[in-house]
């Protein structure tokens, strides 16, 4: 590559790309008419829901398609060089020197049985770096991804490092060759928000430093918005809109972008009692579906006759953008698909469930692991309590203790409507079992893939209600209606249903025995944005109709802000802060809550505080306050020696922190006193 | 515990999984499968109708000792054996013995092994620990030797061979099924069943069993190949089979002494029969396991 061509050509140029997968005997179109350009030094985002073809684009660029995939048309030019017809040798050179990729799961990107140092060294060996220089280069590049102690990390095996650290190592390997193009495919999706924030900062710094072009693939609009200069919105294997990030999101010119943005609750959206979330109706068309006209017409609220007949081109629109929409100028007038009026519900102060003095100690390899410690929490009738915290903070353990799957330690008291509840599900009465049910994170795992919808829901109805065959069948159909599913799905198997429908079936099952409390463990995080909104609306409606309480476990603080009445923040098996949702989001916050809030990718750089390091092991919690090892507001020795109690610092607001509330207010730059009384304005 | 609670499962490069009809399509388009299946079907036909299609009585009554050890000829295309019986007829009819015994033994082993594997995998904990060690202990004993010992004690009879091979296969199949159940048990639908306090047998046989059926089918076809081999090895060694019944292993055993005298046909043809059947069954097993993965 001569210097001259390097200057004249953009880093990546994809023209008219079309691609097919063979499913069974047929070739089905997966990408069509993909056109975009990534300029040198630019961050380009590719956003879309799952199944839209984002990863397929990346694989095509890497020339690394699965065996049942083939490019049928178009060109992919890296710095002016077409990569679609390279010899194996040229391809090797390309992957070693010009282009690197970081995958979603760093745990599977590294070889578990080879030390980190050796794996990073391999990259330099491939690049032809002489053996004696390699170790130094490895140290340098690990330094570059801000790994504090590279020598120590080099001696480790992958399983000895945390997810965030592994992703740093993978990024180090990717930038080792200073590639012209770095592809990041959902690089932070499996990571905690606090870790995600760090990794995103790192990627940004690196891009500025080594000037590489970045193709950033993500389903998260917030992450793309934060990271990218320009963005392409992908839907069903076609580009819907391409343009500068600001323009695309703030002044969208395609109804799909408008719809996606409306599905996401944000700090500006009202809370669940004020407004519903808008959704995108319908489903992604199946792979290879032959559709005349606009592929999005089926789901578009602005659809006209012409949309079903003529497929629009990518039309240039103001703001240096293009949009595949005949009526791009009307995109933002998209009518709501869901009435704005939120379901009305009654709240009561009556306690439904109280768990007091709860702790849970597991024994692992003979050593105790303190998964829960000193938990006091009550859930009122008809209320939603959100449980937030990083992974490993004990949220799921607490849920399992309430459900009777894990027996808590002695001394724990769980009371349902004032009556003591047995620790194990086996000792609870039928009524008590039906009263506490669960909606799982991933419906693919929660629904038996060999059973029909009728059997999945019907079995729960039969066991939790013990009525006759006819009543069971009626109740099953009734539940289907309640989750807005038609009886045509009764005989369907889970794989015949979309992700959203599957989660509806799981919700119907949880409501089989007229529950008083439904524990929702990340019920929307495995779902696409457009589906997430519909599920959250459904949960809100069911709550209004059935007066059920929710314990809502989530890492998505925007969803929590929208749906929760109260929020409980957990860290290392302890409750750090409990209070009404508006109060918790308004502050002053517990320092840990403050850190969680500032990890959100919605925020600007300078409003952030950063958490150092990883959550400590529950088998060996720090002395004093468990958060003191990472606390940005630590005040001194007292934090290291005395564990603060969970105290009621304001009526209805509890914190586990030595710092007085007034001081927190000052530290967090909030105006003193009164103002917090009206949290809705923040 | 301490598992990342929000590893968003939905965002991967998802190439749709093959459904049942697509699996059948993959099988149908596999040449390996068709070659294997055709040979197996031919042998099954001979096993069922052997007596009607063989040119001579495979039992060789009345004995024709005058024409013993005749080389292949127009009348006896594969020659005759030491008692003057037609080798072709005996090879064709011999399919019945090996197929029935091997099939019955594999079915037996699969039923026991599946039941055991389901229970061990689902129970977990100390039950799993103890039973798994016992299964390992059984696995460490060589197959043919176990069979010989048991058959010496039981005396030669077909039922004995079936039971012995079935029992020898049980721990092998149980281990495979156990592994499948262990990963299945992690899934939330099993937790959901516990949350409605569902009956253990329902969870095992209605919830979990259909989801490990693929593993069992693959294991069954692979085991069938081994069973054929084991049956023949035992009969070659003289265990389990009455000498008059046409049996490939026994035929080879009885005539291998004549090889030095240049009389190869009563050994070669049953050996070819064995090879074709075992290879065919393995071809089918391979293509099935490929289609199911």
CA distances A211 to A3, A137, A205, A250, Å, are 16, 19, 10, 27
CB contact under 8 A, A512 and B196: yes
Q: Is residue B7 part of a domain?
A: no
CB contact under 8 A, B1 and A189: no
**Residues 145..164 of A with a Cβ closer than 8 Å to B: which?**
163
Does B125 reach chain A within 8 Å, measured CB to CB? no
Q: Pairing state of beta strands A315-317 and A549-553?
A: unpaired
How much of chain A, in percent, has pLDDT values that exceed 90? 61
CA distance B209 to chain A (A): 10
Nearest to A463 among B22, B198, B210 (CB): B198
Contact B142, B233 (CB under 8 A): no
**Which chain A residues contact residue B14 at CB under 8 A?**
50-51
Task: For residue A316, give every residue at least 6 positions away whose Cβ sits within 8 Å of its Cβ, in sequence order, or none.
Answer: A322
CA distance A283 to chain B (A): 15
CB contact under 8 A, A391 and B6: yes
Does A431 reach chain B within 8 Å, measured CB to CB? no
DSSP for A45-109 reads: EEE--TTSSHHHHHHHHHT---TTEEEEEEEEEETTEE-TT--HHHHHHHHHHTEEEE-S-HHHH
pLDDT < 50 positions in chain A: 1-6, 674-682
A536 — alpha (psi -120 to 50), left (phi > 0) or beta?
Answer: alpha
Contact A559, A524 (CB under 8 A): yes
Q: Is residue B32 part of a domain?
A: yes
- Domains of chain A (ranges; CATH) run 107-176 (no CATH), 251-333 (no CATH), 351-564 (3.40.50.300), 571-681 (no CATH)
Residue B206 reports pLDDT greater than 90: yes
HSE of B97, CA atoms in CB hemisphere, 13 A: 30
d(CA A275, CA A288): 37
Q: Is the ipTM of this complex over 0.90?
A: no
Whole-angstrom Cα Rg for chain B: 24
Q: What are the beta bridge partners of residue A367?
A: A364
Q: What is the pLDDT of residues B58-103, one digit of tens each?
A: 776 666 777 778 888 878 888 888 888 888 888 888 888 899 999 9
Does B244 reach chain A within 8 Å, measured CB to CB? no
Does B52 reach chain A within 8 Å, measured CB to CB? no
Contact A179, A79 (CB under 8 A): no
Nearest to B192 among A51, A444, A509 (CB): A509
Task: For residue B271, give every residue at least 6 positions away whose Cβ sits within 8 Å of its Cβ, in sequence order, or none.
Answer: B248, B252
What is the average per-residue pLDDT within B240-245? 71
Q: What is the pLDDT of residue A259?
A: 93
CB contact under 8 A, A525 and B6: yes
What CATH number did the domain enclosing B87 receive? 1.10.3720.10
Cβ neighbourhood burial of A534 (10 Å; 0-12, 13-18, 19+): buried
d(CA B177, CA B169): 12
For A360, name the nearest residue in chain B, comparing CA atoms only.
B1
CB contact under 8 A, A527 and B3: no
CA distance B126 to chain A (A): 15
Does B31 reach chain A within 8 Å, measured CB to CB? no
A575 — alpha (psi -120 to 50), left (phi > 0) or beta?
Answer: beta
For residues B65 and B189, which has the higher predicted lDDT (pLDDT)? B189
Residue of A159, A365, A388, A448 to mutate for B, most B C-beta atoms under 10 A: A448
**Which chain B residues contact residue A392 at CB under 8 A?**
2, 4
Chain-centroid distance of CA A452 in Å reads 29
Does A395 reach chain B within 8 Å, measured CB to CB? yes
CA distance A395 to chain B (A): 8
* Longest CA pairwise span in chain B (Å): 83
Q: Is residue B20 part of a domain?
A: no
**pLDDT band for position B50 (cuts 50, 70, 90):** confident
CA distances B215 to B179, B208, B291, Å, are 10, 12, 12
**Which chain B residues contact residue A59 at CB under 8 A?**
13
Domain region containing B54:
27-58+75-291
Q: What are the beta bridge partners of residue A655?
A: A577, A647
Nearest to A448 among B10, B25, B189 (CB): B189
Does B14 reach chain A within 8 Å, measured CB to CB? yes
Q: What is the pLDDT of residue A671?
A: 63
d(CA A181, CA A177): 10
Q: Is residue B67 part of a domain?
A: no
DSSP for B203-255 reads: IIIIIIHHHHHHHHHHHHHHHHHHHHHHHHHHHHTT-S--TTS--HHHHHHHH
CB contact under 8 A, A618 and B19: no
Per-residue three-class SS string for A575-614:
EEEEEEHHHHHHCCCCHHHHHHHHCCCCCCHHHCCCCCCC
**Residues 504..543 of A with a Cβ closer than 8 Å to B: which?**
509, 512-513, 521-522, 525-528
Does B115 reach chain A within 8 Å, measured CB to CB? no
Q: What is the pLDDT of residue B68?
A: 79
Residue B243 reports pLDDT greater than 90: no
Tally of residues, chain A: 682
Contact A388, A192 (CB under 8 A): no
d(CA A234, CA A57): 10
**Which chain B residues contact residue A441 at CB under 8 A?**
5-6, 9, 188
Number of domains in chain B: 1
Residue of B196, B210, B214 to mutate for A, most A C-beta atoms under 10 A: B196
Nearest to B11 among A104, A430, A448 (CB): A104
Q: Pairing state of beta strands A419-420 and A367-380?
A: unpaired
d(CA B191, CA B93): 53
For B27, name the nearest residue in chain A, comparing CA atoms only.
A24
CB contact under 8 A, A438 and B195: yes
Does A51 reach chain B within 8 Å, measured CB to CB? yes
Q: What is the pLDDT of residue A254?
A: 95
d(CA B61, CA B73): 20
CB contact under 8 A, A190 and B2: no
CB contact under 8 A, B17 and A553: no
Contact B255, B82 (CB under 8 A): yes
Buried b (16+ CB within 10 A) or exposed e, A455-489: bbbbbbbbbbbeeeeeebbebbbebbebbebeeeb
Q: What are the beta bridge partners of residue A12?
A: A38, A78
Residue B255 reports pLDDT greater than 90: no
Q: Is residue B185 part of a domain?
A: yes
Q: Cis peptide leading into A39, omega within 30 of 0?
A: no
**Which chain A residues contact residue B17 at CB under 8 A?**
495
Contact B5, A391 (CB under 8 A): yes
Whole-angstrom Cα Rg for chain A: 26
For B10, name the nearest residue in chain A, comparing CA atoms only.
A526
Q: Is residue B235 part of a domain?
A: yes
Task: Using the Cα atoms of residue B95, residue B96, residue B102 and residue B106 in order, give the sign of their dihedral.
Answer: positive
For A363, name the nearest residue in chain B, comparing CA atoms only.
B1
Per-residue three-class SS string for A146-176:
CCCCHHHHHCCCHHHCCHHHHHHHHHHHHHC
CA distance A670 to chain B (A): 32
d(CA B73, CA B54): 16
Contact A539, A563 (CB under 8 A): yes
Contact A587, A633 (CB under 8 A): no
**Which chain B residues contact residue A513 at CB under 8 A?**
196
CA distance A452 to chain B (A): 11
Buried b (16+ CB within 10 A) or exposed e, A191-201: bbbbbbbbbbe
CA distance B164 to chain A (A): 34
d(CA A632, CA A145): 22
pTM of the model: 0.86
CA distance B193 to chain A (A): 8
Chain-centroid distance of CA B144 in Å reads 15
Residue B182 reports pLDDT greater than 80: yes
Does A289 reach chain B within 8 Å, measured CB to CB? no
What is the side-by-side order of every strand in the sheet holding A213-218?
A: A99-102, A181-185, A213-218, A43-47, A230-235, A238-244, A321-323, A315-317
**pLDDT band for position B160 (cuts 50, 70, 90):** confident
For B18, name the nearest residue in chain A, comparing CA atoms only.
A24
Q: Is residue B19 part of a domain?
A: no
End-to-end CA distance of chain B: 30
Task: For residue A379, give every residue at least 6 positions away whose Cβ sits within 8 Å of its Cβ, in sequence order, or none.
Answer: A351, A352, A353, A354, A385, A517, A549, A551
Q: Is residue B157 part of a domain?
A: yes
Q: What is the pLDDT of residues A502-513, one digit of tens each?
A: 999 999 999 998
């Amino acid at each position: 590559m001569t210097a001259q061509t390097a200057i004249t050509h953009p880093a990546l140029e994809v023209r008219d790309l079309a691609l097919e997968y063979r499913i069974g005997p047929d070739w089905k179109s997966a990408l069509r008419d993909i056109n975009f350009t990534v300029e040198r030094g630019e961050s380009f985002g590719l956003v879309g829901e799952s199944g839209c073809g984002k990863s397929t684009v990346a694989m095509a660029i890497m020339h690394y398609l699965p065996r049942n995939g083939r490019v049928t048309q178009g060109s992919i030019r890296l710095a002016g060089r077409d990569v679609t017809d390279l010899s194996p040798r040229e391809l090797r050179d390309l992957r070693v020197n010009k282009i690197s990729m970081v995958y979603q799961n760093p745990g599977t990107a590294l070889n578990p049985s080879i030390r980190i140092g050796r794996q990073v060294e391999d990259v330099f060996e491939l690049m032809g770096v002489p053996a004696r220089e390699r170790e130094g280069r490895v140290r340098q590049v690990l330094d570059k991804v801000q790994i504090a102690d590279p020598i120590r990390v080099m001696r480790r095996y992958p399983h000895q490092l945390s997810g965030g650290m592994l992703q740093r190592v993978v990024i180090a390997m990717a930038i080792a060759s200073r590639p012209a193009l770095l592809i990041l495919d959902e690089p932070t999706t499996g990571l905690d928000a606090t870790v995600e924030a760090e990794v995103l900062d790192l990627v940004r710094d690196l891009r500025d430093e080594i000037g590489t072009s970045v193709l950033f693939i993500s389903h998260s609009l917030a992450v793309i918005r934060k990271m990218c200069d320009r963005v392409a919105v992908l839907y069903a294997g076609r580009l819907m809109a391409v343009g500068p990030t600001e323009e695309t999101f703030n002044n969208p010119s395609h109804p799909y972008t408008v719809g996606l943005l409306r599905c996401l609750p944000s700090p500006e959206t009202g809370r669940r009692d004020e407004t519903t979330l808008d959704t995108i109706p319908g489903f992604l068309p199946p792979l290879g579906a032959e559709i005349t006209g606009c592929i999005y017409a089926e789901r578009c609220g602005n659809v006209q006759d012409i949309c079903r007949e003529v497929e629009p081109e990518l039309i240039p629109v103001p703001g240096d953008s293009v949009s595949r929409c005949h009526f791009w100028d009307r995109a933002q007038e998209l009518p709501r698909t869901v009435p704005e009026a939120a379901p009305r519900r009654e709240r009561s102060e009556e306690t439904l469930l109280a768990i007091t003095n709860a702790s849970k100690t597991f024994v692992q390899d003979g050593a105790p692991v303190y998964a829960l410690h000193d938990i006091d929490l009550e859930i009122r009738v008809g209320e939603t309590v959100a449980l937030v915290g990083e992974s490993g903070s004990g949220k799921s353990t607490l849920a399992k203790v309430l459900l009777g799957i894990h027996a808590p330690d002695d001394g724990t008291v769980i009371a349902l409507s004032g009556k003591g509840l047995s620790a194990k599900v086996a000792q609870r009465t039928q009524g008590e079992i039906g009263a506490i049910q669960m909606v799982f994170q991933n419906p693919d795992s929660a629904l038996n893939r060999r059973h029909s919808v009728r059997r999945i829901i019907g079995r729960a109805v039969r066991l939790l209600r013990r009525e006759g065959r006819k009543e069971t069948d009626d109740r099953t159909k009734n539940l289907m209606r309640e989750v807005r599913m038609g009886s045509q799905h009764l005989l369907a198997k889970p794989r015949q249903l979309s992700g959203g429908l599957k989660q509806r079936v799981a919700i119907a099952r949880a409501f089989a025995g007229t529950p008083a409390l439904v524990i929702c463990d990340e019920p929307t995080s495995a779902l696409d944005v457009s589906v997430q909104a519909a599920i959250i609306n459904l949960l809100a409606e069911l709550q209004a109709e059935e007066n059920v309480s929710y314990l809502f476990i989530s890492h998505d603080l925007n969803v929590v802000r929208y749906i929760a009445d109260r929020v409980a923040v957990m860290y290392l098996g302890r409750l750090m802060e409990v209070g009404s949702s508006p109060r918790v989001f308004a502050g002053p916050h517990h320092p840990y809550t403050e850190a969680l809030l500032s990890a959100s990718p919605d925020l600007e750089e300078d409003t952030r505080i950063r958490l150092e390091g990883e959550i400590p092991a529950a088998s060996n919690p720090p002395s004093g306050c468990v958060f003191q090892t990472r606390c940005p507001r630590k005040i001194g020795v007292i934090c290291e020696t005395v564990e603060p109690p969970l105290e009621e610092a304001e009526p209805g607001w509890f914190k586990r922190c030595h710092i007085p509330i007034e001081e927190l207010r000052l530290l967090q730059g909030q105006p003193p006193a009164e103002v917090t009384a009206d949290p809705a304005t923040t | 515990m301490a598992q990342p609670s929000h590893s968003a499962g939905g965002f991967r490069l998802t190439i749709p999984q093959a459904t049942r009809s697509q699996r059948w399509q993959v099988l149908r388009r596999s040449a390996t499968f068709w070659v294997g299946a055709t040979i197996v079907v031919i042998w099954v036909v001979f096993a069922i109708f052997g007596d009607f299609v063989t040119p001579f009585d495979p039992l060789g009554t009345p004995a024709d000792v005058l024409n013993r050890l005749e080389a292949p000829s127009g009348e006896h295309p594969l020659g005759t054996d030491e008692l003057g019986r037609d080798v072709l007829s005996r090879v064709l009819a011999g399919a019945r013995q090996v197929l029935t015994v091997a099939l019955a033994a594999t079915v037996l082993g699969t039923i026991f092994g599946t039941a055991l594997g389901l229970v061990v995998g689902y129970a977990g904990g100390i039950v799993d620990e103890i039973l798994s060690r016992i299964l390992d202990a059984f696995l460490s004993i060589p197959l043919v030797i176990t069979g010989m010992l048991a058959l010496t004690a039981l005396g030669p009879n077909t039922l004995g061979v079936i039971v012995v091979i079935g029992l020898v296969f049980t721990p092998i199949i149980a281990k495979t099924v156990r592994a499948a159940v262990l990963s299945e048990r992690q899934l939330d639908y099993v937790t959901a069943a516990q949350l409605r306090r569902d009956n253990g047998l329902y969870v095992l046989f209605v919830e979990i069993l259909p989801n490990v059926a693929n593993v069992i089918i693959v294991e069954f076809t692979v085991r069938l190949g081994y069973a054929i081999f084991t049956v023949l090895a035992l009969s070659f060694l003289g265990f389990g089979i009455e000498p008059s019944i046409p049996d490939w292993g026994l035929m080879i055993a009885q005539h291998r002494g004549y090889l030095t005298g240049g009389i190869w046909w009563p050994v070669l043809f049953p050996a070819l029969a064995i090879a074709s059947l075992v290879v065919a069954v393995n071809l089918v097993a391979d293509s099935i396991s490929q289609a199911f993965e």
